[in-house]
Amino acid sequence: MNGSTSHIRRLAHCTLAAAFVLVISSLLSPSAKAQTAAVKTNIIHDATATLNAGMEFRFAPKWTIDLSGDLNPWTFTGDKKFKHWLFQPELRLWACDAWAGSFFGLHALGGQFNVGGFDIGADFLGTDWRLLKDRRYQGWMAGAGLGYGYAWILGRHWNLEAEAGAGWVHSWYDTFRCAGCGKRIATDDQHDYFGVTKLAVSLVYLF
């Protein structure tokens, strides 16, 4: 009887020890410690006085969904306007693991804009930016594009991330005579833009 009791105790101790090892191993495993979400701000957009924030969620080891938004409500000196709001979701495939190294993105975008008064002497891929000097454009936009980016690990919870993307944006808008006046000279115009659709250098905090 004593031998049987001793054997049962040893078996119980071994079982508890094995369970303890399994629990500790699971807590220390990469899957248990891996981050599942992140928040970020785009430093490039910050430099243009555009309020912006983003959130990113991981739903598979190499797949994340990034959701970012911009808001610029300001009128600058000389009646220059870069007013807009923008929502830009992106599906990302990471080459190795989420939030480390290279990634490829498929993004969409949509929003409203009210821009004008800027002297940009460029005519590129069918978009004449020179018209912004003496005109103001107000309307809606929607588009999509492809991007490539890279994330540098700065610490346990911090990353630095850079991304560039190109694609297409279709806009519907009214045209006004100057940046600061309300004289409408055209309505319901449309334009297709081809070029850069995403440019970001972001500071990222991982959870």
Of residues 84 and 177, which shows the higher confidence score?
Answer: 84
140-192 pLDDT, tens digit per residue, is: 999 999 999 999 999 999 999 999 999 999 999 999 988 777 789 999 999 99
Rounded distance, CA 86 to CA 169, Å? 12
Q: Which CATH class is domain 34-206?
A: mainly beta
The rounded percent of the chain whose pLDDT value lies above 90 is: 68
Averaged over 72-99, what is the pLDDT? 95
46-80 pLDDT, tens digit per residue, is: 999 999 999 999 999 999 999 999 999 999 998 89
204, 38 Cβ separation under 8 angstroms: yes
Specify the pLDDT at position 133.
Answer: 86
Averaged over 80-102, what is the pLDDT? 96
Residue 108, number of CB atoms within 10 A of its CB: 15
Of residues 133 and 40, which shows the higher confidence score?
Answer: 40
How would residue 11 be classed by pLDDT, with cut points 50, 70 and 90?
Answer: very low
Q: Please check the confidence at residue 32 and state whether its pLDDT lies above 60.
A: no
Residue 107's beta-bridge partner residues?
A: 90, 145
Rounded distance, CA 42 to CA 38, Å? 13
Q: What is the dihedral of CA 10, 14, 16, 21, to 10 degrees?
A: 160
Specify the pLDDT at position 174.
Answer: 95
Any idea where the domains of the chain sit in the sequence? 1-33, 34-206
> Maximum Cα–Cα distance for the chain, whole Å?
102
Residue type for position 12:
A
Rounded distance, CA 161 to CA 203, Å? 6
